[in-house]
Structure 1
Amino acid sequence: MLAVQQATSIPDPLSVPSNAPEHCPGTESDLAGKADACAGCANQEICASGQTKGPDPALPFVRDRMSTVKHKILVLSGKGGVGKSTFTAQLGWAFAADEDSQTGIMDVDICGPSIPTILGIANEQIHSSSSGWSPVYVQDNLGVMSVGFMLPSARDAVMWRGPKKNGLISQFLKDVDWGTLDYLLVDTPPGTSDEHLSIVTYLRESGIDGAVLITTPQEVALQDVRREINFCRKVGIKVLGLVENMSGFVCPNCKGESQIFKPSTGGGRQLAKEMGVEFLGAVPLDPRIGKSADYGVSFLDEYPDSPATTAYLDIIDKIKAQL
């Protein structure tokens, strides 16, 4: 009986303010603003008044913008440095290789926006019109939006608390003139925090097709990805599958492969089996992937004979098949 009471007292993570105290009951709770944990919280008065229980006024505008977006895919990983943004860029280029498809990439890694550099558009700026902000276009059918376009220089740090991050994500969804898109890819930061809760909240009504999770073979990365899978299940996001990045090293000259990150507990394939999700494939570590990202060019186009390119394309075909 005690276990049931404890489980039912856990608040919906989407109802907890980003700057809430540790034991916040959530804005939807009858104890909002009244619990002991609320004492001293900056949101206590507004939570107690019940004003937080209404829908976010941005939601209708987000729903309207997203009505012309066919598929919405999140790229997630609990661990930083596993190649999430690089994978998002390759996925975007692969979708855009079909001239009849329109693809957008939304970079919500607010404190570490690397998508503009990887796509070769780091020096571009956002322009606005009567219809809203215009994405920066890599090519005619591949548009991008990132906080990186708003910074005075690449050296400037973004030091924002949760509410400001939430506000920017809201603007990216409701104020950007994405037009008609076949695919909107959302590149997220590591973890399961502000940015993730915000994007799920705003897209809940519009629908998210699913999430692709990125890991590397070693256990220290797999631990965080397990948490990310559980996050997806708690907030109702379908896991399209798991990708193991940096899965061995391929020598560009001899084509021999060596393990850099040893899969001591079975790697991504074993994790996918353990968690009951699809294993989409393993991408070997080709040093030219990093070179392509630094120069802002498509690795798939530059090195079509690489085993990594073959792996990327097989994974992308599996994702398309699910959509």
Structure 2
Amino acid sequence: MRTEPRLRVARVRPDFVPKAVRHYLDHTAAGTSIRALARAADVHASTILRQVRRIENRRDDPLVDAALRRLSEHSDAASLSQQEPCMTKTPRTTAREEQQRIAAECSRALRRLMETGAVLAVAKDMEMAVVVRDAPDGSTTRTAVVGQDVAQALALNDWIATDDPDARIVKYRVTAAGRNQLRAFMANDENRATGMAEAPASFDHARVAAPAESPLNGLARRRDKDGKPFLSSALVRAGERLREDFELAQMGPRVTQDWDSFLTAGTTRTHSGASGNSPAAADARVKAALADLGPGLADIALRCCCFLEGMETTEKHMGWSARSGKIVLRIALQRLRLHYDSLGQAGKMIG
């Protein structure tokens, strides 16, 4: 009687790895035949073959190639049996936390990449990638720092793509798949905020509204009566600094904390020199900055810089007259810039 060969699969399979990539790793790293993979997936062998060829053709992308090499290096086909789930030395709780971290970081990066003129810049031999955006005055503003593992997850899932993979500094832009995935992340965040989500952030698609561009970007393109930008690059950077900490703080266990309640109840002086990229440190820095601004200015900074609320909506919520919000916002950003300048190196963007 003929015995079917045992299905061998790659050892490391993080949840963010797409199915096609898993099949590619199972075939190239674990040595599983195309036919065996097709039987296990209940598809025709030609389907698996097309997936393998497509992933192989994507290895010109430096992020995709680096991700595949990293995953292949951790493969251990002999230790796995047919149909058994992939196991690592990492405890399940830690693996889930890592999945949540990757999902949160991907969501943060995609939000930034949705902004006009934003790209993810990746240089060889650099541990971190950066999201940069062209400013109206021709300068470049850095808006986020992204770890290589997160950048690789974005590329591996086709959420970002580049037209020039051989450049010294490779620039990636968000794809249609990336926009759809951001909607999924946002839907998950909304469910979690209402207590409806118990599972880790999903990598599936969802249909919710796409995020808006920061009001700061629109105001920076406007000109005042003297022909100068209504918001200077320095003021925009101050607002981006606040948003960076706000987004990092949202990754912590208090992701659903009520910031509106924090503001309307008044501000409390908090230590502003907390350093590091941890959610707790970022949370402390946000509260310190808002406390320095005080009620009113803190409200508009939080709404426009962090919640990306439009001017008309903010003016309505605050009970202000039309076209007065942008003046108050500029004053808030001027105060915010002074706050970060007073912190010295600790007040600069992270990374």
TM superposition score category, shorter chain reference = 0.3 to 0.5
More strand per residue: 1 or 2? 1
Q: Which has the larger radius of gyration?
A: 2
Report which structure shows greater RCO (CA 8 Å, sep ≥6). Answer: 1
